[in-house]
Amino acid sequence: MIEASFHTSKNGQKNSDLIETLKILGAECRTCAPLSPLECVTRCNLWKLKNELRQLRETIDNPNFIKELFNVLKNNTRLNILKTIVKGRYSVTKLREQLRKEGYLQGRETINEEHLRPLVEVGLAAQSQDYYYATTFGGRLNELLRDFVEFLDLLPAHSECYEETVLDSLASGPKTFEDLEAYLSPKIASRILKRLKSVGLVDVPEDRDYVFFFRSKRDPNKEALSEPEARIYFGIPDDGIAARKLATKTGVSLRRTYRYLRGLKGKKLIFTRKNRRTYRLTKKGEELAAILKSLQELVGEVWQSSWHVSAEKS
């Protein structure tokens, strides 16, 4: 589901901010007169952006890229490092000093292997000699992540992103369990829904699938109704009602309510409809789903821009 949404955005022909930036820089490039080719390569923002996008093309073409990106982001230290290197170039030593000031006590090897390398592998950071810096993609993504940090503890790290898939599905509206089975196996869907409910992202009704009773269009005056039958019949609202609630509403015991309902159904004055249990996002779930959607849209934009650069004549 997550990957499917990403591929939709890749083909959505949405106007890309990065493509517009490339056009603006291209116009400036045509009037630029560098003193030497070396100056063009080392100082030209257009050359740097195009080079980054060409390198990103192969990375983003990985069918598991979105899943890998989300797993990289579900780490507070990495997000802190990304926020730091957006401001400038840092060596591992300088990064370690900065992290220590903020209460992160990882060693140089841990910072390099567990945090910087994953950021580089998904194209959010790059290395030049002994210094690390955020790519254009990393900078753009960093702007979107300000509200993401509060959700970090709600999503499991190193996962298959099943939680993100369910959130993405429910973002378009409430779904039944059968709807969710289109994306996940029943066993996995059940486990993920329980987890999302436990962290307050999904609202799961306590009631299971239940039967609602509705009045038919048949004229009740054509049937002889006893006083309890009439009370049950006229106690059914236009939008239907469950038997237990009807019993409470009319003051008739549940056992007798069912008996009268069977009689009314035999007289074709009522009919039943099974309402399916539906799952929906909480307010917190909607906020997180919106952030995940924005991340997918950014990846789609970067992919389109990288394709645009790769398609240019060399």
- Taking the C-alpha atoms of residue 143 and residue 105, their distance in angstroms, rounded to an integer, is 25
Mean pLDDT value across residues 144-158: 86
The pLDDT confidence band at residue 288, using thresholds 50, 70 and 90, is very high
For residue range 72-91, what is the model confidence (pLDDT) as tens digits? Answer: 999 999 999 999 999 999 99
Compute the mean pLDDT over every residue in the chain, rounded to the nearest whole number.
83
> For residue 113, what is the DSSP state?
I
- Taking the C-alpha atoms of residue 109 and residue 92, their distance in angstroms, rounded to an integer, is 9
Mean pLDDT value across residues 266-275: 90
pLDDT above 70 (res 196)? yes
Residue with the larger pLDDT of the pair 198 and 47: 198
Question: Which segment of 27-41, 79-93, 124-138, 228-242 scores lowest on mean pLDDT?
Answer: 27-41
All CATH 1.10.10.10 domain ranges in the chain, comma separated: 210-275
C-alpha distance from residue 138 to each of 24, 47, 62 (Å): 21, 17, 18
How does DSSP assign 6-54, residue by residue? HHHHHTS-PPPHHHHHHHHHHHHHHT---SSHHHHHHH-HHHHHHHHHH
Nearest to 201 by CA among 156, 160, 159, 157: 156
Contact 279, 175 (CB under 8 A): yes
Contact 236, 246 (CB under 8 A): yes
Give the whole-number percent of the chain exceeding pLDDT 90: 53
- Taking the C-alpha atoms of residue 172 and residue 287, their distance in angstroms, rounded to an integer, is 13
pLDDT above 80 (res 52)? no
Q: Is 105 helix (H, G, I), strand (E, B) or coil?
A: coil
Token pair 């093309």 in the structure block, residue:
57
The pLDDT confidence band at residue 249, using thresholds 50, 70 and 90, is very high
Residues 6+ apart with CB under 8 A from 272: 211, 212, 213, 214, 265
Residues 6+ apart with CB under 8 A from 24: none
Contact 9, 297 (CB under 8 A): yes
**Measured between alpha carbons, how far apart are the two ends of the chain, in Å?**
36
CATH architecture, domain 210-275: Orthogonal Bundle (1.10)
**Model pLDDT, residue 107:** 87
- Taking the C-alpha atoms of residue 233 and residue 235, their distance in angstroms, rounded to an integer, is 5
Contact 289, 170 (CB under 8 A): yes
